[in-house]
Chain A
Amino acid sequence: MNDFLLILRVRARMFFASIRSLSAIRAVSFVFVIACFVLGAYYIFIRVFGYLMSVEVIGPGLLDRLIEMALFVFFIMLLFSNVITSFSTFYNSRELDFLFSLPVPPTSIYLAKLFENCLYASWATLTIAFPLIIAYGVRIGAPILYYPLSIASIVIYLFIPAAVASMLIAILLRIFPKLGAREVIMISIAFILGLTYLYIKINNPGLLKIFETENEQTLLLFAAQLTTVGGVYVPSTWLSNILRGFSDGSADWTFSFLLLSFVSLSTVLISFLIAKACYVRSWLSTGEHASKRSRRKSLLFHPQRQVARTILFKDLLVFVREPTQWVQLSIFLILLAVYVFSLRKTPIYFVFPLWRTIVAFANFAYISFVLATLGVRFMFPTMSLERAGIWFIGSAPISFKKVLLVKYFFNLVTAVVIIEVLLLSANLFIRVGRGLYFLLPIIGLFVAASLVSINLGLGSRFPHFHEDNPSRIAAGSGGIITALISIAYVGISIVILATPAYNYLSHTFMRMPVNYLLVYSGFAFFVLFNIFTIIVPLRIGIKSLERRDY
């Protein structure tokens, strides 16, 4: 136990040392950006919850169900992110060689790593979960006790997915010691997806059915259904019961809290016992199989005529051969495809052209936000991943500007393909008018160009040349700042476009006169803003790369 605390203490020291090494300005801006994000989320939740509670009959029930759904989604997301980071934390990090050579029991190493992994995998979810819980408490007028209790609950809750993920991977590696990172992560994710599907199938959450009807009778029936508790066997339900217990007493929070704590403790205990039985052996065997050798035909031929092509080809190869990279990207893309296809079943409420147009705008905003998060995960780490070759690039007769620009165009093409396919097919399914059908994809080009620039530029400004796990690079302080700046960029763009969009709507659907000056100046401003967000981040990145000591 003492060893475990010691390892944790060393970790904490390292963390604080890295914070202390940040400059004061960077630390302050970091805290500021996080605070803005949390407060912004809080504001949105307060507004949405307030609105829902004022809706008659179904409002309060819908709110509770929404919270339950959100917590359920968090749970699945936490499982995913824990699985993805687990393999490298428990079996594949450089530090492990050192830790295992120390005279400490492996179980202490396991526990310390469990904490570390839980923290890494959960921070992003927490920045949303905290404002959500507090906004809910404020809206239902919860007593003071609600706040410490709900925060304690969510911390307890976090350990369940972390322990489950580590167990899953430990068991997989015990049964199939020859599996590589890619296989382990893919099998685990398939397993989680399967379970999620089963849960949704069996539990059949009523929320998804909301807009299927206008009939008052069915609506009342639906409302009645909403008040019934969902799946009793999912931790997120217990968590939502704890929260709801304070609102109308419809659920007993003490029981749920005890249940949650009991299950969390047991899961950690079971995972501990499993680790005791097989952690060392699995770690040793992954070490052996990691260096499993096989000859490959050289895919990087010389002579490539152009320097740019050489860099491009190298990046592609490295990406394709890093399973955690493209496995995660594929999962994101599959989820997005599912989302777009679900637009095909446009609910009855949305048949009017006005609604369709609004849905088209909302869809555009949503896709931009998704691209912003994808960018931080996959584009922000790009320059940092040069880690092993930075000595070469720095001493070779090639400028950082060129390296970064090659990466920029490569990432831009990918981003444009993703955003355009999503926008065009979504617009097709929503059946928007012809003008918007072409206008939104054009705006999408600007959004892609800006987001790629922000991520690559700031990724070069805040590189992590000592880390080779891309998810962790993205989870560092630079990544968080970039994520929030990207989201702010999308928010500002939408605000700028809102005025011309509103004018367009009132013209098309309410026969109001068009204010051309307003429309054109709105677009002109949008373009100017984007020229700024395309050029400035890239310049910052290039300057910083050129001035850095390697």
Chain B
Amino acid sequence: MNRLVIKNLKKKFNNTWALEGLNLQLNQGEIFVLLGPNGAGKTTTLKLIAGLLRPTEGEIVIEGTNLNDDPIKAKSYLGYVPDEPFIYNKLTGREFINFVAGIYNVSKQNYETRLTELMETFDIGTWVDELSESYSHGMKQRVIMCQLLLHNPNLVLIDEPLVGLDPKTSKTVRELFVRLKEEGKTLFISTHTLSFAREVATKIGIINRGELKFIGDIEELSRISGKKDIEDIYLKLSADNGIV
């Protein structure tokens, strides 16, 4: 069974199409990286899968469950990290994590130990017990990642994970993604950082103006475009009259 199946997914805002007919299949142990210029439709795609937007047309099936038919079950397999890390201002980081754990019904067993481990991984210090209104962008993002791994979803959706992270955390995060892949999780990541795509992706998609211009692995990518460097490939494919 495919972990994620997207069939002819379309989204229209008012009068503009943000996404025009996306088809995609992801299996376990894959890292899919979606590249594209600003306004290409990356965030729209991720939010559609996360159930935060309602598709104009098309289907999203997660672990065999159609998101439209049984949203609660489908959503129980996924975890989403938004591009803007919002947390309730008046909760501390720890309280937010506990809140999430409560909603996902995370098992009580070893809860505290696992939490401590995760906090170490992300270098979360004593500030986790301060109100999150005083956090920086990167601090909030680390809390959100920590929360995500605690309920440990099979399908992880992350929008621009590297924005706002310092080099050290960024490295931790990249290593973590690879580890998750090896554990059999599926990751769907949108980014502008090309080197990141080259480093971790098992599959790359390039999207522009709501259309998927290309999908495949790095080798295929350079074969089709006739360029070696990922930056050249990206610039060529995301140009307005790029190949389809």
Contacts and interface: CB of A to CB of B under 8 A. Distances in A.
Interface in A300-319: 300-304, 307, 309-311, 314, 317-318
- Of B13, B103, B133, chain A has the most CB atoms within 10 Å of the CB of B103
A391 B52 contact: yes
Given A389-B86, A394-B50, A296 B102 contact: no
Interface in B120-171: 126-127, 129-131, 133-134, 157
Contacts, number: 118
Nearest to B50: A395
Contact of A293 (B87, B95, B97, B130): B130
B91 A317 contact: yes
B129 A302 contact: no
A276 interface: no
Nearest to A397: B76
Contact of A549 (B52, B82, B89, B111): B52
Interface residues of B, number: 46
B99 A394 contact: no
Interface residues of A, number: 40
A301 B98 contact: yes
B227 interface: no
A549 B54 CA distance: 6
Contact of B99 (A292, A300, A321, A391): A300
A304 B111 CA distance: 12
- Of B53, B88, B104, chain A has the most CB atoms within 10 Å of the CB of B88
B228 interface: no
Nearest to B47: A550
A236 B2 CA distance: 73
B78 interface: yes
A322 interface: yes
Interface in A271-314: 290-304, 307, 309-311, 314
Nearest to B150: A302
B129 A298 contact: yes
B101 interface: yes
Contact of B52 (A290, A296, A550): A550
A410 to B, nearest CB: 15
- Of B50, B75, B91, B127, chain A has the most CB atoms within 10 Å of the CB of B91
A303 B130 contact: no
A391 B86 contact: yes
Contact of B91 (A291, A300, A398): A300
B86 A296 contact: no
Interface in B22-49: 47
A195 B79 CA distance: 55
Contact of B53 (A317, A322, A549): A549
Contact of A394 (B52, B88, B111): B52
Contacts of A302: 97-98, 101-102, 106, 108, 111
Interface in B158-206: none
B230 interface: no
Given A293-B134, A395-B78, A298 B92 contact: yes
A395 B91 contact: no
Nearest to B151: A396
Contact of A300 (B73, B76, B95, B108): B95
Given A296-B131, A298-B94, A388 B75 contact: no
B21 interface: no
Interface string A386-407: 0111011011111100000000
Given A298-B92, A300-B102, A310-B99, 16 more contacts: A292-B134, A293-B127, A296-B130, A297-B129, A300-B95, A302-B111, A309-B102, A310-B102, A318-B91, A321-B90, A387-B86, A391-B50, A394-B50, A396-B100, A397-B104, A468-B89
List 8 tightest A-B contacts by C-beta distance, closest first: A310-B102, A397-B76, A300-B95, A321-B90, A302-B98, A395-B50, A395-B80, A388-B86
Interface of B: 13, 47, 50-54, 71-73, 75-76, 78-80, 82, 86-92, 94-95, 97-108, 111, 126-127, 129-131, 133-134, 157
